[in-house]
Structure 1
Amino acid sequence: MLKRFIPLSLLILTVTACSNPAADYDAQEVVNSANEQWNAAFNDKDLDALTELYASQATLSPGDGNVLNGQQEIAALFQGFFENGLHNHNIATIATYSSAGQVSQLANWSADAEGENGETITFNGVLMTVLQQNEAGEWQVVSHIWNMAE
């Protein structure tokens, strides 16, 4: 079940957020901060903190042709990850791009789970995130897409 659940879940996430971009920001700092917050919330299994990184109108496609709508459905997906023992999530940025109040990153991701025989199974892939500032000046994910290597 875990092996089937992870690939379907780690594919596409799209989020809508309010746009009020500030002119002064360092794209790499924005990406680094977003990655630190996401990894910390996920690795601490802090479902509330993780969910709040997404806009209230977030949509997420787990790669199976379905779309999850809103923070509650997204939270249920991440809760499933936690229940299946996914942990030790890491993001390693490959490239950062910035334009018109948006910051994007191309990165590698990885996460571990315990296999049936107690061995550590590492899942990994490539992700792309697009961040945009909301009206409060906080950076939120507006698009998050990832895949999983086989």
Structure 2
Amino acid sequence: MKVLKRFLPLGLIVLAVSACSNPAADYDVQEVVNSANEQWNAAFNDNDLDSLVELYASQATLSPGNGKVLNGQQEIAALFQGFFENGLHNHQIDTISTYSSDGQISQLANWSADVEAEDGQTLTFQGVLMTVLQQNDAGDWEVVSHIWNMAE
């Protein structure tokens, strides 16, 4: 549970979406974000580490709210593996706002996730997250930056 509490600011959120291979001007921002959130939540809630990590660019950065920055898919995978081992589940993302420019979308959102405590009670963690999706040369969307915090 220590690993969980230390890194739990899991506003984890959003992800590599192969939603659109059209030129950057031809995408619907809300559709891309909704699809990314659905894919991210599904991979996380299914404990599908491979699918979850593939949503991130190879050199993506992630800060889990502890003042540190993880670099690349390998470090990101290790963090999520710890969450899975500690039973974190039922992750949800509720978008507050989106911001976009040519080939890049940022999302501000609330997040929540549950874990079973040692006494059997369900604890819900929540916070705010920010993700940056970028459209790569193939037209696919991938997470290039992901930051979250956790409410007390």
Contact preservation (8 Å) 2:65, 2:147: no
Q: Mapping of 1:1-150 within 5 angstroms?
A: 1=2, 2-7=4-9, 10=10, 22-150=24-152
4+ long deviations beyond 4 Å: none
Q: Please give the TM-score of this superposition, normalised by the length of structure 1.
A: 0.86
Contact preservation (8 Å) 1:12, 1:63: no
Deviation of 1:113 after TM superposition, in Å, equals: 0.3
Letter in 2 for 1:40: A
Q: Please give the TM-score of this superposition, normalised by the length of structure 2.
A: 0.85
How far does the alpha carbon of each residue in 1:11-54 deviate from its partner, in whole angstroms, 9 at most, with x for none?
799xxxxxx96211100001000000000000000000000000
Contact preservation (8 Å) 2:11, 2:127: no
How far does the alpha carbon of each residue in 1:46-92 deviate from its partner, in whole angstroms, 9 at most, with x for none?
00000000011123333344332221111111000000000000001
Contact preservation (8 Å) 2:61, 2:145: no
Unaligned runs of 5+ in 2: 14-21
Contact preservation (8 Å) 1:129, 1:141: yes
Letter in 2 for 1:102: Q
More off after superposition, 92-101 vs 71-80: 92-101
Identity %: 82
Unaligned runs of 5+ in 1: 14-19
